[in-house]
Amino acid sequence: MMDGVFGLSFFWIAFWVYLLSFLVFVVFFAVRNRLPGRIAAILFFAALALHTVGIIARWRFFGHIPLATMFEYSLVLSWIIAVSFVLLLFRFDFMISGVVISPIVIIIMVIASFLPKEGSKQLMPALQSYWFYIHITLAALAEGAFLVAAGASVYYLFRSARTNSYSGEMERVEGLIIKSIRIGYPLFTIGALFAGSLWAWKAWGSFWSWDPKETGALVVWLFYTLILHQQSRGRWEGRTLAMVSIVGFLIIIVSFLGNLFFGGLHAYV
Amino acid sequence: MKMKRGIWKGLITGRAAVMIIAVLTLASAVGWVFSEIIPNDINFHEDIYRAKWGNFTFALVNYLGLHDPFHSFWYRGVLAFFTLSLLLCIITGWKVFIVHSFRFSPPSILKKSAGKPPAMEIGWSKLARSGIEKKDILGYYEKAFGRDIEIDTGQISEGYSNVAAYLTRKRYRVKSKETDDGVLFSALRGRWHYPGNMLFHIAILVIAIGGMIGSFQGKKEIMYARKGDVLTLFNSQLSIRIDRFNIIQTREGEIRSYITELSFMNSSGDSIQSEKVEVNNPARYGRYDIYQSTYYVDEEEFEWARITYRLGENDRTESIAIKSGQKIELPSTDWTIEIKGYSPDFRKGKEAYYTGSNRMFNPALLIEIAGSFGRKPGWLFLKYPSFNFSFDLPVKFSVDYIEPVYYTGLQISSNPGTRLIILGIAMAAVGLLFLFCSSYRLLKGKVEKTGLFIIIAREGGGKMSKREISGMKKDLKSILRDIIIADTGKEG
């Protein structure tokens, strides 16, 4: 266990428990019985606990927050999304959001499984900065919020295809999409763009270098700016909002994985 | 003139803002893709790419700047248009953004019958007869009960007071005006929302201007230097001298940090400020920023070497550090040692020795031992010590370490747009805080003889969700019902 891929067992087990939880959430969604919902939630909490232990173990072993590689970022991102379910459940009693959130967590963990898993106790010089914590943590929180919005959008489209009426549940899901975007946008602007620019200025002497990751972040930001402008004009609601939120998710994924193929200044994360 | 006015009006609409953001998003996405799939060296290898793509495609790619799309005319054009749109938005929108947020007054008249029904309509009759309504069907109470219950002036005042108290609890600021048939009021919440929005828009403009200044006026250069070198900063009177360059490694050989110690020097060559520069910790003097950007290892030369020698008699081992060209006395002997030559990749030819490459594949030092016996030159090999010359002396020499010459890679920057960009970022952060932490709500209403009517004003785009409206309506009904019950004696 004490090697460069420390903590993997926890994530591996957590992944399977999340998957099981998702399947039970699907049953809950189909039968609308509280019992399978509770079982699914308990499984989800168990997976989240394992996930948390894995992150803490990796953090302690390597001596820095596990955000230094794309693999670590994916694990923290999926953890943030998983935590959002806990908030939605306890704060708003929004059990059905499990159907939305568990598959996103699983997708991110699947993506993580394809990424190099080695860690290092020594952060490379460019990452040895307090901006590392600010920039990447806020970016992960923001992207987590956007991904929750995308998951809720899939659910919204699925439900709206089956019914024509705008029920209270649909209103709640639409509210979740809007709120997630409204939480994600300022975090992304401050964390990913501004903190990233300031850090780039400190480390590389330039606020902006048109690096693939930076450009990807700009496209993401512009796209969500567009969504918010349309929202303020009373446009892009309901199904349209759900669809554009899913497009936003796709842009985030391309931006996230882009530097795997494109390289650039962010090639290590 | 009409056409000009039309264009102007068209430019300042929300639709135009959305259009330009959409175009910029699309242009950025297109640029993103092209910057990755088209090599950026097409102008350096024109012949190769002409042969590969054909003349027309090459000319098209070159004309559109697809190898460097973010500096192409079309992308800059979109950016310029975006900036213009932002500027117009700020110029024309400040009234809506600022004035409506701070200066609000009760309406002179409530236009509840101007096509759209009020957002909230609570009739006394309905309250009196059925208690708290479960459904809000506009005009339902009139159809259902035929006759309106009317309340007197005292009750109107009491009703308004209760509504105002409720709205104040909900963090609204309420202003009212009494009329002959009731009380007109306006209630405002989240007044910092739109100033925050305005600040954010201005901040983006400031950042864009700062970026443009930096793009046109900024200078940037990467310079390599070794200890003792003096670098002039952009042909100015100012220069820097490299005092020291260190690479700090972990035990595992990973690089922990690289640090350059340098001094800023004036035109007379006097040191005026000393700084330590490392990654994430640049040095600043005047308008110049010095960044630790990279480093370069020159293996063709060496900085110093550690030579160990064992005295044959008692097997005692001594080590010395010696620099290139240096001549020093060997401790415990009356000999001297001097480095006479260095080969990073030692090879032996038919007639002479030579260096196979400039990399340290087989580093070797040519040393010369001098003493009462005369001068004895010979080679010492770092990787293959068994080939070391013996010198025909009762001492065995070996080389343990050869340090190549490290050049620090410093980025010298001068960006007059930096302060604007930082100011813009700070403004934007504050703006976002206000924008997303306060929800703008502007309600206009009237408490009158037949009921309470509230319109959610759309000035400035304040918008309430259906859930919020129904929650507020429920609360208000609960408050107002007490007045009616006290008057009519009826329980719902």
This complex has an ipTM of 0.85
Judged by DSSP in three states, B267 sits in coil
- What is the separation, in whole angstroms, between the first and last Cα of chain B? 63
Residue A257 vs residues A181, A216, A249, B57: alpha-carbon distances, Å: 21, 10, 12, 29
Instruction: Read off φ and ψ for residue B427, nearest 5 degrees.
Output: -60, -45
Mean predicted lDDT score pLDDT of chain B:
83
Q: Look at residue B247 and tell me whether its pLDDT is greater than 90.
A: no
- In CATH terms, the fold of domain B120-190+439-488 is TATA-Binding Protein (3.30.310)
Band of residue A247 on the pLDDT scale cut at 50, 70, 90:
very high
Can you read off the two tokens belonging to residue B363? 């580093």
Band of residue A190 on the pLDDT scale cut at 50, 70, 90:
very high
Non-local CB neighbours of A49 within 8 Å, separated by 6+ positions? none
Residue B245's CB is within 10 A of a number of other CB atoms, namely 23
What is residue B148's predicted lDDT score, i.e. its pLDDT? 59
Going from N- to C-terminal start, the domains of chain A cover 124-262
- Starting at the edge strand found earlier in the chain, the sheet holding B336-343 runs B327-329, B336-343, B364-371, B374-381
Residue B335 vs residues B320, B332, B373, B376, B483: alpha-carbon distances, Å: 13, 9, 9, 11, 113
B196 to chain A, closest Cα gap in Å: 12
Write out the E strands in B360-415.
364-371, 374-381, 395-414
Closest residue in B to A183 (Cα) is: B436
Closest residue in A to B24 (Cα) is: A222
Per-residue model confidence as pLDDT tens digits over B443-476: 888 888 777 888 776 654 556 766 677 778 888 8
Whether residue B421 lies within 8 A of chain A, CB to CB, comes out as: yes
- CATH code that applies to domain B216-294+408-430: 2.60.98
Please state whether B315 falls in left (phi above 0), alpha (psi between -120 and 50) or beta: left
Cα-based torsion angle of the residue sequence B84, B90, B96, B102 in order, rounded to the nearest 10 degrees: 170
What is residue A2's predicted lDDT score, i.e. its pLDDT? 46
Residues of chain B with CATH 3.30.310: 120-190+439-488
Instruction: Go through B414-451 and write b for each residue having 16 or more CB atoms within 10 A of its CB, e for each that does not.
Output: bbebbebbbebbebbbebbbbbbebebbbbbbbbbebb
Can you read off the two tokens belonging to residue B230? 């003096």
**Interchain proximity B280–A204, CB inside 8 Å:** no
Q: B401 forms bridges with which residues in the sheet?
A: B306
**Interchain proximity B211–A208, CB inside 8 Å:** yes
Of B15, B22, B411, the CB nearest to A205: B411
Mean predicted lDDT score pLDDT of chain A:
86
Q: What angle do CA A50, A54, A59 make, to 5 degrees?
A: 150
Judged by DSSP in three states, A251 sits in helix
Non-local CB neighbours of B96 within 8 Å, separated by 6+ positions? B194, B459, B460
Per-residue model confidence as pLDDT tens digits over A133-148: 999 999 999 999 999 9
Residues of chain B with CATH 2.60.98: 216-294+408-430
Question: Could you tell me what percent of chain A has a pLDDT over 70?
Answer: 91
Residues A181, A145 contacting (CB under 8 angstroms): yes
Q: How far apart are CA A193 and CA A207, in angstroms?
A: 10
Whether residue A215 lies within 8 A of chain B, CB to CB, comes out as: yes
Instruction: Read off φ and ψ for residue B363, nearest 5 degrees.
Output: -70, 140
Alpha helical stretches, state H, B401-465? 418-437
